[in-house]
Amino acid sequence: MVAVQTKNSLVHLLFRPFWNLILLLASLQVAVVLISLLAVTLAIATLVEWRWGSEAAHFGIYRAWWFFVLIFLLALSVIFSAVVRFPWKKHHLGFLVTHSGIVVLLVGCVFSLWGGIDAQLPIFEGQTAHQAFTQDYELLIKVYDWGRSSISGQRSTSGNRGRNFSANHAASTEFSAAGSDGFPRIIRIPFHPGPFNWAEYRSWPILLWSVLPRTRGVLFAEEGIQLEVTDYYSNAEVTSAPPLRLQVRSAGGAWQELQFEVHGVEDPRIPHRTFGLGKRRELKTGQSVVFWVASSRAETEAFLRSIPSGKDAATGEVFLFHRGLTQRFLLPDILNQKIFRWDEAGVQIKFVQFNPRFSGLVLDPEPYPQRLPIPEQISDRMVLFADMVEFNRHSSFYGIFGTLWLWREEMAAGKSVGPSAEIAEETANASEDTASNRSGGVGDSPNLKRARLDILQGTDGVLYFRSWHGGMVQECGILPADGSSVQVFQGSGNQLEVRVAEFLPADKPGALIRPLPLRPQVRGVAKRSFARVRLTLDGWQEEFWLEALPATPFLELEEKEKEVWIAGDRRTVALSLQPKIIDLGFAVKLHEFERRLEPGSTHPASYGSRVDILNRQRPAETILRNVWISMNRPLSVVDPSNGRTYRIYQEAFRGPFRAGDPLFERVVQGREAREQLYLSWLTLNYDPGRGLKYLGSFLIVIGTAILFYMRGYLRRGKDRPSSPGANGKI
């Protein structure tokens, strides 16, 4: 008996703290505090959404760990307040129903926050779309194994396989099949940088938000590829870089100021890819000064290491640079042999043409030995000039950077060697403005004997220079940006003193990227976001700004324009930052977008879209036909592939675009007679907690009604007169 009592006492002693905790959470005082905190939090979230947009409110509040702790404690308080009243009486019915509704409502809210989808679905009139874009990002790595066997080793039968990499908030990556069809392997890395520029997390009023999880640091490190994000601009603007201002003077002369601008132009060899067009100035004393901006660290290294020797060079030599390796070829050998192998780089160099009019050499690099074919759309022809070095075009895909050095003037007096002179002439004439600054014009043979000073801004923001005179590079080094001068062409009669008067490093050739304060995002108006990426491939490292692709129906074209190529050991990686895509089991075809204006103004009073919903699994089946979606009239669609119910809202629009507009011509392409074109911006919403929230709200209403009824019932019971004889009296 004593042993049983001792055991009961021990159980009571151990259980009592938990029971006291339950009583504390079930108390009215704690419930009032939790409800007050929730109300204040929701009020702050409303202000945050008004000030910075819904993305900031979800990141800083709705999806923060402490918000879920608050929801969890409130749910426990509601549950325990019912538990401590057990066993329940009849008059507890309304109380139990109401508190059950509150718990169900809170659970539904959690489901909505964690599993909900809010995506954009932009569609042009007459077009069909089945991909929606969320506000989340993913870094897309395409691996082209152009000179060796596939790293993955086996071809995936399912097309994709998941893989996890444990790093700083890095999530699963996705590898696609790599076969002999020339398509790249795909690696998808989820990227959640948060809504603000990263520098702003260190300042008020989002100081506390800096501890919330963000995707940063090393995100991927496998198979010789390491990807690291060092900075992020949630909202940024791209402006023209200010010109480089130099001051030069010859021996005993006065200072002369030179100004150099670098502009981005479209590469004629690769559509939708731009390069920086350099600038040239001619001095009255006969020297040339050339300035351009490197697009990669490899180009900077090639500039510094491709120094001619002049030894046994005869008429000239070509230097090729690839991942720290420099290869020298004699120009006569190239003209005679036509094909050269560079085994260390895994390529062979094919001679295409030499144009003496511009002293330009055209080369085609190809993988050797070629084990995997390269997609046909990749054209990476190299064009090298002996004098007009600011027009040089290198091989971005294979990571080969070239320099042409010519010694003898008669090389510019011969005939073209090769099948055609069109490519060199096309490149040389890419900028009439720059060419017009050369003495004698672009049509004259270049003067290979005159002194030339080449200045390059590296990707590290440093100015590098090399001076060319008399068939030799005489000086090579760093041009100080602090105003101190450098002597070039010393002892040659062309001596110059050069100093920097004004210089602001460009982030990209001809462009500056500057962060902007975050503003509420307007649907249909895309902000420009950039990530500072450090990519290491097979031991070679590059660092650059990567622009996020906007949510657009032309995502593939935008991807070709903004992706960055880095060459590795017989393989190339193409990196892009894309919005996360939801591939729907149905397609939306936009027949017509209609906009009605307010009387006497150009402001839209109402607008909507007339669409068909098509079943992608059964192309002949139309789920919904000729339905209307407007601002206050959403459409509910069940995805046949997964059973999800999506609601489609009319959010915004762009246009009208008319004939002559590049966007109009790109979409219509002369296939239909159309005077104007609209882009309808639809919103796709999936809320897995909607049913629970409806049910919880219904239970709260029913429970409240029961409470009022039971209160009246109990009051009537107290006020009811006593029956005769109840108190012993008649």
Which pLDDT tens digit goes with each residue over 633-674?
Answer: 899 999 998 889 999 999 888 888 888 787 777 777 767 777
Report the pLDDT averaged over residues 44-48.
Answer: 89
**Block residue for tokens 């539904």:** 108
Whether 728 is in a domain gets the answer no
Same domain, yes or no: 371 and 271: yes
Is 443 among the domain residues? yes
Angle of helix 93-115 relative to helix 65-83, nearest 10 degrees, comes to: 160
Residues 540, 473 share a domain: no
Residue 149 has pLDDT above 70, yes or no: no
**pLDDT at 537 (0 to 100):** 94
Distance, CA of 360 to CA of 391 (rounded, Å): 10
Contact 98, 704 (CB under 8 A): yes
Lowest mean pLDDT among 290-294, 309-313, 510-514: 309-313
Beta bridge partners of 141: 187, 575
Pairing of strands 128-144, 572-597: antiparallel
Is 726 a member of any domain? Answer: no
Distance CA 523, CA 120 (A): 8
pLDDT score recorded for residue 652 = 85
In this structure, the strands spanning 339-342 and 236-240 are unpaired
Indicate if the pLDDT at residue 314 is higher than 70: no
Whether the per-residue pLDDT at 510 is higher than 60: the answer is yes
Domain end: 455, 476, 502, which one? 502
Tell me: do 559 and 658 sit in the same domain: no
Measured CA to CA, the distance from residue 291 to residue 390 in angstroms comes to: 7
Closest alpha carbon to 562 in 266, 273, 245 = 273
- Domain holding 262, by residue range, is 239-502
Q: Distance between CA atoms of 614 and 640, rounded to whole angstroms?
A: 10
**Per mean pLDDT, which range of 13-27, 196-210, 369-383 is the poorest?**
369-383
pLDDT grade for 474, boundaries at 50, 70 and 90: confident
3-state helix, strand, coil in the chain (%, to 5): 25, 35, 35
Question: Which pair of structure tokens corresponds to residue 83?
Answer: 């538990």
Whether 273 has a pLDDT exceeding 50, the answer reads no
Q: Is 457 found in the same domain as 380?
A: yes
* pLDDT computed for residue 730 by the predictor: 36
Local structure of residue 400 (DSSP, 8 states): B
Residue 218 lies in a domain: yes
Q: How far is CA 494 from CA 249, 252, 253, 308, in A?
A: 10, 12, 12, 20
Given 543, 562, 581, which residue is the final one in a domain? 581
Q: Which helix (H) or strand (E) holds 535?
A: strand 530-537
Q: Return the pLDDT at 413.
A: 46
Nearest by Cα to 264 from 253, 251, 273? 273
Q: What is the tens place of the pLDDT at every residue in 54-106?
A: 888 888 888 888 899 999 999 999 998 888 888 888 888 888 899 899 999 99
Cα distances (angstroms) measured from residue 321 to each of 260, 290, 326, 442, 564: 26, 21, 5, 28, 19
Residues 247 and 326 in one domain: yes
Q: What is the pLDDT of residue 533?
A: 95
Tell me whether residue 474 is in a domain.
yes
pLDDT reported for residue 17: 77
Q: How does residue 151 score in pLDDT terms, banded at 50, 70 and 90? A: very low
In a domain, 509, yes or no: no
Q: Across the chain, what does the average pLDDT equal? A: 79
For the chain, how many residues are written? Answer: 730
User: What is the helix (H) or strand (E) element at residue 143, kind and residue range?
Assistant: strand 128-144
**DSSP calls for 625-637:** EEEEEETTB-EEE
Task: State the total domains in the chain.
Answer: 4
Q: Indicate whether 453 and 325 sit together in one domain.
A: yes
DSSP state of 256: E
Strands (E), 145-183: 160-163, 173-176
- Rounded distance, CA 343 to CA 328, Å? 13
CA distance 357 to 385: 10
Tell me what pLDDT residue 225 has: 94
d(CA 484, CA 573): 40
Joined together, the tokens standing for residue 183 give 């398509």
Residues 314 and 460 reside in one and the same domain = yes
| pLDDT digits 0-9 by tens, 386-441 | 888 888 889 888 899 999 988 755 444 444 455 444 444 444 444 334 344 443 33
- Tens digits of residue pLDDT in 667-721: 777 677 778 888 888 999 999 998 899 999 999 999 888 888 776 555 555 555 5
Q: For residue 682, which phi and psi values (nearest 5 degrees)? A: -100, 155
CA 289/CA 262 separation, integer angstroms = 14
- The larger pLDDT score, comparing residue 553 to residue 173, is at 553
pLDDT the model gives residue 284: 84
Q: Is the model's pLDDT at 575 over the cut of 60?
A: yes
What pLDDT is stored for residue 232 in this prediction?
Answer: 94
Q: Are residues 416 and 295 in the same domain?
A: yes
Q: Are 320 and 402 in contact, with CB atoms under 8 Å apart? A: yes
**Among 502, 529, 560, which residue terminates a domain?**
502
Judgement on whether residues 537 and 597 belong to the same structural domain of the protein: no
Shared-domain flag, residues 357 and 417: yes
Nearest to 481 by CA among 460, 453, 510: 460
* Claim to verify: residue 108 and residue 123 sit in the same structural domain: no
Q: Which residue has the tokens 């198979």?
A: 223
37 shares its domain with 94:
yes
- Rounded to the nearest angstrom, the gap between the alpha carbon of residue 335 and the centroid of all alpha carbons in its chain is 43
pLDDT of 364 strictly over 70: yes
Q: Is residue 512 part of a domain?
A: no
pLDDT of residue 557: 62
pLDDT at 179 over 60: no
User: Does residue 429 form part of some domain?
Assistant: yes
CA angle 315, 320, 325 (to 5 degrees): 130
